Amino acid sequence: MKLSVPGAHRISGRRVRPGRISTRATTAAVAGLAAAGLLAAAAPAVSAAPAAPPVSTRPAQSTPAAPAALAAPDIPLANVKAHLTQFSSIAAANGGNRAHGRAGYLASVNYVKGKLDAAGFTTSVQQFTSGGATGYNLIADWPGGDPNQVLMSGSHLDSVTSGAGINDNGSGSAAVLETALAVSRAQLQPAKHLRFAWWGAEELGLVGSRYYVNNLPAAERAKISGYLNFDMIGSPNAGYFVYDDDPTIEQTFKNYYAGIGVPTEIETEGDGRSDHAPFKNVGIPVGGLFSGAGYIKSAAQAQKWGGTSGQAFDRCYHSSCDTTANINDTALDRNSDAAAHAVWTLSANSSGPSGEVFETVDDVTIPDNGPTITSAVTVSGRTGNAPAALKVGVDIKHTWRGDVVIDLIGPSGTVYRLKDSSGNDSADNVIATYTVDASSETANGVWRLRVQDVAAQDTGYIDSWRLTF
C-alpha cells in the first residue's frame, strides 16, 4: 500500500506549514484514541515532575543529534556468484531444479541456513503444505535493534521445475544472503531489528510468504516497519526497475542509483507477482528491485542501460537455460550493493519517517497561580514505539517564564518533566525544543503537554506545541 505523505491542514484559523500533521487540542485532557517472527538546542534535563498517581514519572534528557547512518559496505560480486554456483550444484545433484517439494529446495534451505548460523544469526524454519508437499520458509534474525521496529529483507528461494532458477531467483536469494553476511562481518548495530527471509513455493503463487504473513499476529505485523523484496536482479539483458510502493523505500533505492549515475524506471512487470504482495496487502510498507523477466527491452531502454533492444530482459525466464551463464554480472553487482545500501540506510532510524511532525496551534490559557492545564496532540499512522530522541517543540507566551512548569505526558500516562520553575528567570516566553527518551511509549495515541503557573501576577497561554518523530 502506498503511504500518503503528510500534508497541510487548517485548524483554528491558522495555516500549518506543508509536511505537518496537525490535530485540534482542547483545554481539557482528551481521551486516548487509542517480529520476532513466528519462529523464532535542547533544554537540559531537570528533576522529575510530581505527578498524580498512578502514572510514573521520567525526566526528559538532553540528547545529542543522532549520527549519520553508516555507509553500507561494497558487497563482493565474487561472494554473490559463489552462492549461485552452490545453488547450481545443488540443482544438478537433485534432478536439475530447486523447486518446492523437491530435494533441491530443501538442500538450498540447508545451505543458506548453515551460512547464517555460522555468522551468528538466529535462524528458524517454518513449515507449510502446498500441493501435498511440505514447504519451508527460512527466517534469520540479527541480534539487537528495536524489536518494535523490524526491517525485513527477503527473496524466494525456490525455482520452477524446469531448471536451476539461477536468475529466478538464485540472484535475489544470493544477494540477500550476502547482505546478511555483510551485516555479520560489520557487526552492525542498527537502530531497527533486522530480519531476513527466504520464501518457499513462490512459483506456485506466493505460498510461503503469504503463509508467513497470514499467520503473524496483528501485533507482530505492526512491528514490521518495511519489507524489501529482491526477485530476479541479475537478468542478462538487464533493466533497473524500482518498486513504486512505499515512497521512503523507493527513494532510498533511487538515491543509490542516482549516486552511481544509473537511471531507473518504475517496476511494472512483476507488480503484485512476488513476495512483497502479501506484506503490501496488510498495509506493511514495501519496496524492492527487479531487472526484468519476459518483457521486451525497448530501444530507449537499451540506449540508457545497454543490452539488446527487441529482446526479453531474460530470455531464459522459467526455462532450463536459467543457469549460471544467465547472469549479468554488472546488474547483479549493482543490485546487491543497492540492497545493502537500503538495509543500512533504512535500519539506521528506528523512529519511522524522519521529521514527521504532529502539532496543535490552538491557544490554551494558563491560569495565573492556578491549576494545571493540558493541550493534546493525537499521533496516528506510526509504527512501533516513539524514538529515543523525541523532539518536543514548545511555544508558550508568558510574562514571567520562571513561574512556568512544563511536562509531557505520553499515551501510557508516563510524565516527562521538560521544565521546572525558577525564581531567577524573569524573562518572557518559553520557546524551546526539548528532547525526550520516549522509546518505551507506543508512538500512536494521545500525547499531552501539561503546564502550570506556580506564582501570582502573570499572564500567559500555550501558543502551539509539536512532536517531531
Q: Is 202 in the active site?
A: yes
Query: How far from 262 is each of 300, 305, 306, CA to CA, in Å?
Result: 14, 8, 11
Q: Which three cell numbers stand for residue 42?
A: 535542547
Q: Which three cell numbers stand for residue 6?
A: 503528510
Q: What gap in Å lies between CA 292 and CA 148, rounded to an integer?
A: 34
Q: Which three cell numbers stand for residue 159?
A: 525455482
Q: Which three cell numbers stand for residue 401?
A: 517564564
CA angle 301, 304, 306 (to 5 degrees): 80
Q: What gap in Å lies between CA 351 and CA 439, rounded to an integer?
A: 9
Residue 183: CB partners within 8 Å, gap ≥ 6? 142, 194, 343
Task: Let me know how long the chain is.
Answer: 469
Contact between residue 288 and residue 243 where contact means Cβ atoms under 8 Å apart: yes
Q: What gap in Å lies between CA 428 and CA 401, rounded to an integer?
A: 5
Task: Out of 202, 250, 359, 441, pick the active-site residue.
Answer: 202
| Helix, strand and coil percent figures for the chain, each rounded to 5 | 25, 30, 50
Q: How many CB atoms lie within 10 A of CB 15?
A: 10
Q: Which three cell numbers stand for residue 342?
A: 537500503
Query: How far is C-alpha 352 from the geometric centre of its chain's CA atoms?
Result: 7
Residue 210: CB partners within 8 Å, gap ≥ 6? 278
Q: Which three cell numbers stand for residue 302?
A: 537499451
Write the secondary structure of 383-422 as one string of H (helix), E (strand) and C (coil): CCECCCCEEEEEEEEECCHHHEEEEEECCCCCEEEEECCC
Contact between residue 379 and residue 444 where contact means Cβ atoms under 8 Å apart: yes
Q: Which residues of 401-440 are buried (b: 16+ CB within 10 A; e: fewer)?
A: bbbbbbbbbbbebbbbbbbbbeeeeeeebbebebbbbbbe
Instruction: Point out which residues pair with 422 in neighbouring strands.
Output: none
Place of cell 513561574: 403
Q: Which three cell numbers stand for residue 356?
A: 514527521
Three-class SS of residue 336?
Answer: helix
Residues known to be catalytic: 202
